[in-house]
Amino acid sequence: MALAVVLAVLAAANLLNNHLAVPAYVATSLAAAAILLLVHRRAGGTWQEAGLGRATLSRGARWATVLVAAVALCYLIAALVPATRTLFLDARIQPAGSAAITYQVLIRIPLGTVLLEEIGFRSVLYSLIQRTHGVARATAISCLLFALWHVLPALHLLAANPSLTLSVSATAVLTALALAGAALAGFVLCELRRRSDSLLAPAGLHWATNALGYLTATMITGSPP
């Protein structure tokens, strides 16, 4: 029953965030994350099982700090090297002021994206499945559902890019590649969750990849001071 409720909450949040209530993205994610944690607790789960135990917070924080620093260094090098600098040029990213950038980096990405996805897929869902079916199955199911979670964003991404004029088959191939990438990312994040025994490690990498990537692309595109 708890697993069914978790899947229903994630499905509803995905529809709301990507189609039905896009302006309420952060509020929807916060509400969904709170409901998921409540379901986990009502099902007998502990904070430690959710990756939020006090005993492993410091370890997770150390992992997160190292991972954020590593991602920042990689983005810096890629931004300085001409051959890779062009990878950050994206027609969909418009010059933004400091307030808009701050909102994306410190509010929308961590609270709207990272919090819900980590609690949903690497905390509650992972914990509920691991409890009865073990780590391998918990990881596999988490990765599969994390990939499916990105179906709507992938379709919107292709539709929103005016530079892409694709056939149905090409769209399907690119969508499949995007979902495979999401599944691989899910596996890496699950492994970080398992090895650190803390949700802070995958959350740190997740935030750094998204937020610092956005920040780098915005700076290269040319944001005003």
Residue 8: inside a domain: no
Residue 5: inside a domain: no
Spell out the residues 6+ positions from residue 35 whose beta carbon is closer than 8 angstroms to its own. 9
Residue 108: inside a domain: yes
225 DSSP 8-state letter: -
Higher pLDDT, 147 or 89: 147
Residue 172: inside a domain: yes
Q: How far apart are CA 38 and CA 43, in angstroms?
A: 9
* pLDDT of 65 over the 70 cut: yes
130-141 residue pLDDT tens:
999 999 999 999
Residue 118: inside a domain: yes
Residue 73: inside a domain: yes
102-115 residue pLDDT tens:
999 999 999 999 99
Contact between residue 141 and residue 157 where contact means Cβ atoms under 8 Å apart: no
Q: How confident is the model at residue 217 (pLDDT cuts 50, 70, 90)?
A: confident
Q: How far is CA 136 from CA 167, 174, 175, in A?
A: 37, 28, 26
144-158 residue pLDDT tens:
999 999 888 777 665
Structural domain containing residue 82: 60-151+167-221
- Model confidence pTM above 0.85: yes
Higher pLDDT, 140 or 161: 140
Closest CA to 147 of 125, 179, 115, 174: 179
Residue 92: inside a domain: yes
How far from each other are the two terminal CA atoms of the chain, in whole angstroms? Answer: 51
Domain count, the chain: 1
Residue 85: inside a domain: yes
Higher pLDDT, 87 or 44: 44
Q: How far apart are CA 141 and CA 25, in angstroms?
A: 25
Spell out the residues 6+ positions from residue 195 whose beta carbon is closer than 8 angstroms to its own. 201
Q: How far apart are CA 205 and CA 183, in angstroms?
A: 15
